[in-house]
Amino acid sequence: MTKDEKIEKISAAPSCPYDRADLIERVASGRILSAGQARWLSSLGIDDTRIDSALTEQAPEARQLEFESLADLYAMSNQTLGKLLGKKPQTISCYKNGHLDVPPETLAAMRRIIAAIDDAK
């Protein structure tokens, strides 16, 4: 979905619980979205990777457990996950063992990868 299509959907919405001009500026500039803004944008059918990140407001421990669980689902090695997520295998290992917090956007990317694998079955 292009930036202009997103802005058009926001502008065409009959009401907006947020400052519409600020929200349009956030979407246009790539600024971070709040969870509430992300939920509202998602309800309009707007597709934006920042929506997943904003909606993944879990505690670091919960993100680590989900990351590890998703990785184990298809027995993906740290090297494989690193290549898919654009991270070093050592970083993936640190995510799994809890030495580094799993960033929400990395967990969202992991969910999309697993969904794509599931869809390909």
Cβ burial of 59 (10 Å; 0-12, 13-18, 19+) is: exposed
Looking at the structure, tell me whether residues 96 and 69 fall in a common domain: yes
What is the structure's pLDDT at 92? 96
Looking at the structure, tell me whether residues 77 and 45 fall in a common domain: no
What is the structure's pLDDT at 119? 81
Looking at the structure, tell me whether residues 66 and 48 fall in a common domain: no
Task: Provide φ and ψ at 42, rounded to 5°.
Answer: -65, -40
pLDDT tens readout for residues 14-55: 999 889 999 999 899 888 777 778 888 988 989 888 887 777
The answer to whether residue 113 scores a pLDDT higher than 80 is yes
What range does the domain containing 104 cover? 60-120
The answer to whether residue 107 scores a pLDDT higher than 70 is yes
Cα dihedral sign, 77-83-89-95: negative
- Counting the structural domains of the chain, the total is 2
**This prediction's pTM:** 0.55
Phi-psi region of 64 (alpha: psi -120 to 50; beta: other; left: phi over 0): alpha
Looking at the structure, tell me whether residues 66 and 51 fall in a common domain: no
What is the structure's pLDDT at 56? 63
Looking at the structure, tell me whether residues 51 and 75 fall in a common domain: no
Cβ burial of 9 (10 Å; 0-12, 13-18, 19+) is: middle
pLDDT tens readout for residues 62-105: 788 889 988 998 899 999 999 999 999 999 999 998 899 998 88
Looking at the structure, tell me whether residues 79 and 51 fall in a common domain: no
Looking at the structure, tell me whether residues 69 and 106 fall in a common domain: yes
CATH number reported for the structural domain that contains residue 80 in this entry:
1.10.260.40
